[in-house]
Amino acid sequence: MVKLSVIVTFFNVQQFVPDALRSIEANARSDFEFLLMDDGSTDQTPRLLEEGARTLPGARVMRREHAGVSALRNAGIDAAEGEYLTFMDGDDWMAPGYLPQLVSAMDRLDVDFLRTDHVKCTGSSREIVRVPHGRRNAPLDPRTAILPADRPSLVDYPNLPFGAYHRRTVDRGLLRMPEELRTAEDRLWSWRMHLQAESVAVVGLMGMHYRRSVATSLTQIGDERQLDFIRSCELVFEMLAEDPEGERFLPKAVRQFCALIVFHLDQIDRFEPAMARRLKSSCAAALGRLPKDVLNTVLDSMDIERSTKIRRLRRRIPGKDDPDARTNTNGTAVA
């Protein structure tokens, strides 16, 4: 029986494939499988994966037409046979012995999903990033880890590779990624896990090394795909509208949205002028669809610099270059 399925996604990262494969080999075990998922790479990534898989126990290469990381991860989930699943991006790497420790923690805690610390790698610098939750090595109700609204919490830590997932989350459809979103898909996924999964735990493992500032990463690309964070957050709002505790959690989701808007405004120079205008008008329209009392409460709790940027933006009238802003007969933006 396969104990752990490791789904590793690759797209045009030939320079990082050797490091990724070496780290996988340093974590191999007879009851582990490694699904090497290629998203239609056009460089040497497919060749390197095929060569590496020949000597890597439990490795399978699966190549698909380019469809994005969510579709690729879902294909890996469908093919996985393990009791537990975890993920890695093809430009990242794991410390030796990390995966056996991850499995040991899942065995010991028996939770739906597990969250781990990680190491952020930017060039030659290294920074340990801790899970924003104090209690460790104990099962928790994921809903109790959503609040408070005004400080980082577990739902603010959405990256899929920093953890492990029990097979029952696959059976319940919780682990699948939203393929309609090209970016910020992990935000929607994180909320769904916290609202619908039954148990979570945090452990102090930091074996995953997360490489930043990679040119091929979507986080470095300033095109319309970046605007998907707006739709992602609005889907969270819709999910909360149907949840019995949605009103209690909504300020947290609104604060997340505001923080993401400021993040993109601070990097607006990477967008072409037309796309920058669309970013502003689309965000303004989305802000206009939020309950005013909730938004005002959130803005009052934020620091002056960020809240001022949001207040200034919400006064914008959505323009005709914003395909996401629709208006009713008296000109008010509607969902």
- Where would I find the beta strands (DSSP E) of 182-290? 200-203, 208-211
d(CA 283, CA 156): 20
State mean pLDDT over 88-103: 97
In this model, does residue 176 exceed pLDDT 60?
Answer: yes
Comma-separated ranges of CATH 3.90.550.10 domains in the chain: 4-218
- For 128, list phi and psi in degrees, rounded to 5: -80, 125
Residue-wise pLDDT for 288-304, tens only, equals: 999 999 999 999 999 99
In the structure, what pLDDT confidence band is assigned to residue 53 with cuts at 50, 70 and 90?
very high
In this model, does residue 320 exceed pLDDT 80?
Answer: no
Q: What is the DSSP string of 25-70?
A: HTT--TTEEEEEEE----SSHHHHHHHHHTTSTTEEEEE--S--HH
Strands 93-94 and 125-129: unpaired
d(CA 335, CA 16): 42
State mean pLDDT over 171-194: 95
d(CA 10, CA 41): 8
In this model, does residue 76 exceed pLDDT 70?
Answer: yes
Give residue 332's pLDDT. Answer: 33
Give residue 282's pLDDT. Answer: 95
In a 3-state reduction of DSSP, which class is residue 4?
Answer: strand
Pick from 6, 43, 1: nearest CA to 21:
6
In this model, does residue 61 exceed pLDDT 70?
Answer: yes
State mean pLDDT over 42-61: 96
In this model, does residue 218 exceed pLDDT 60?
Answer: no
DSSP 317: P
As a whole-number percent, the residues of the chain with pLDDT over 70 amount to 92
Residue-wise pLDDT for 239-294, tens only, equals: 999 999 999 999 999 999 999 999 999 999 988 999 999 999 999 999 999 999 99
Give residue 326's pLDDT. Answer: 43
In the structure, what pLDDT confidence band is assigned to residue 214 with cuts at 50, 70 and 90?
low
In this model, does residue 216 exceed pLDDT 70?
Answer: no
Give residue 222's pLDDT. Answer: 63
Q: Which fold has domain 4-218?
A: Spore Coat Polysaccharide Biosynthesis Protein SpsA; Chain A (3.90.550)
In the structure, what pLDDT confidence band is assigned to residue 110 with cuts at 50, 70 and 90?
very high
Q: How far is CA 114 from CA 14, 97, 143, 169, 212, in A?
A: 30, 17, 14, 12, 23
In this model, does residue 224 exceed pLDDT 90?
Answer: no
As a whole-number percent, the residues of the chain with pLDDT over 90 amount to 87
Average model confidence (pLDDT) across the chain: 92
In the structure, what pLDDT confidence band is assigned to residue 322 with cuts at 50, 70 and 90?
very low
Distance of CA 79 to the CA centre of its chain: 21
State mean pLDDT over 164-183: 95
271, 283 in Cβ contact below 8 A? no
- Where would I find the beta strands (DSSP E) of the chain? 4-10, 32-38, 59-63, 84-89, 93-94, 113-116, 118-122, 125-129, 163-166, 200-203, 208-211, 326-327, 333-334
Residue-wise pLDDT for 187-211, tens only, equals: 999 999 999 999 999 999 999 999 9
d(CA 152, CA 310): 19
